[in-house]
Structure 1
Amino acid sequence: MFKAWRRERAIRRVQQGDGRPLKPLRWWQVPFGRSLFHLYPSPDGLRPGTYTVDIKHWGDKDGEISADLYLDGRHHARSKTPAAFPVEGGLIEVAMSGFGLKRCHYVTAEGEEHQLVPDPKSSAGRRARLEHDHPALSRTIGTVSVLMLVIGVGLNLVQIAEPLSQIPPIAENLGTFTSPVRLPFWLNFTLAVGAALASTERALRLRYHWLLDAGGN
C-alpha cells in the first residue's frame, strides 16, 4: 500500500512538457552525469512512440534533480525524482541514489518491469557495451564492486559499534564493545574512495541495494 501511495504521489508531481527538441548528448556531459535512457516502440504497436528519459545528475541550484521525458524527440513531461511518468500501458519510473540512477524502468499495468535502454554514447551505454562485448571482464568488475562495498560496510559497522556501545544505557544493559579493527586514516580514506567508485559502477548498471549502496553514500 505504501508503494502504491508513493507512486501516486510521484504521478501528481508530473508537469506537462513544452515541446522543445531533445538536445544531443555531448561528449563533455558524459563524465559529468547526464544520462539518456530510451523506451522503444512495442512490437504489438500499443506503444508506437519512442520515449527518452533525460537526467542531469548535478541537479538545479537547490540540488533538486529532475527527470525530463521526451516523446519522439519532443519534450513531453517533467518531474522531480523519484518520478513516475504515465505512458501507454504503464509507467516509466525514475529514481536516484547518491551515485547516479538506481531505477529507470517501464512498469506495465500488469506489474512487469523492463529496464530502459541506455543511450550508447552515455556512461551507462558504454558500460552496457562492455558487458555485451566482454562478459567475463564485466562479471569480474561487478564482483569486485560488491566486495568493495561489503568490506566497506563491514568495517564501518565494526568501527561504529565501539562508540555506540559506550552510550550509558547501552553500556549498562549490554556492556561495551572494543573494536578489533583500528585502521589508519589513509586506509579508511582509500576504502571510502573504493566504495564510492563501486557504487558509481553499480549505478551505471542500475544496480542498487539499500544496505550496500546506501552504505557507500
Structure 2
Amino acid sequence: MLSCRRLLHDDGRGVAEALNESICISNGEPCQGLMVQGQLCVNIDPVGNAARWRRTQGQKIYSPLQLAFTVIPETDHSTVITPEFSSVIAGYELPPNIVIITLQELDDNNLLLRFAHIYEANEDAELSEVATINLENLFAHRKIDKVSELSLSANQLRSKMNTLKWKLESGFQMVENPVRGAPIQDGQFSIEIAPMEIRTLRIKFKNDE
C-alpha cells in the first residue's frame, strides 16, 4: 500500500503550514510527492476472537525480532562453532498475553525489567486474565537476591509513590476497583500482571560465587 502525505491546508498540528512531503531533484524536474510504502493486514475472525489476533499478531508486526550478525574471521567456515545461550530455563515461556518492554543491565548486579499485559479487561475469554510470571525461570544461571517494584519511570519505589485522586467531568465513570496484580512480598520471585498493566522491576542478583 502506497500513501502520500500532501495537504492543501494547515492541519493544525503545530507547523502552521500545509504538509507537503515531496522529493525535489535539482535538474529542473517538478517536485513529486514523497511516497511511503506500508503494509495493510486484514483478518476475519469469529465474534469474540478478533482481539487475540489484533493484540498478539500486532505485537509481532510492530515489534519483530531483530537479527544481528557478526563477521567470522576464519576462512574455513566448516570448523566454526556457533555459540548458543539462553537465560531462560528450558521449556519455560512467558504467558502469551505478556511482553517484555525493557531489559536493561544496571550497575552493582541490578537489572531493570518491565513487563506489560497487552490485553484489556474482558477483551478475550482467556487472555484477559491476570498472568503470573516466575522470575526465577527467566534467569536460570543467576540467583535472585531481591525484587523491588518501581514507578513506571523507574525513579522511585512504587511503595513510596503518592497516588493522585482524579476528578472526572460529568459523563465519565471511573472504575472504583480496577484489577491489579498483587504487591510483591519480600522473598517472592513471582509477579502478577493484570490486563493493560505495566510493572517495572529492579532485580538484584546475588554475587557470583
Q: Would you call these one fold, judging by a TM-score over 0.5?
A: no
TM (norm. structure 2) is: 0.26
When Rg is computed on C-alpha atoms for both structures, the one with the higher figure is: 2
Structure 1 or 2: more helix by fraction = 1
Q: Taking CA–CA contacts closer than 8 Å with sequence separation of 6 or more, which of the two structures ends up with the larger relative contact order?
A: 2
TM (norm. structure 1) is: 0.25
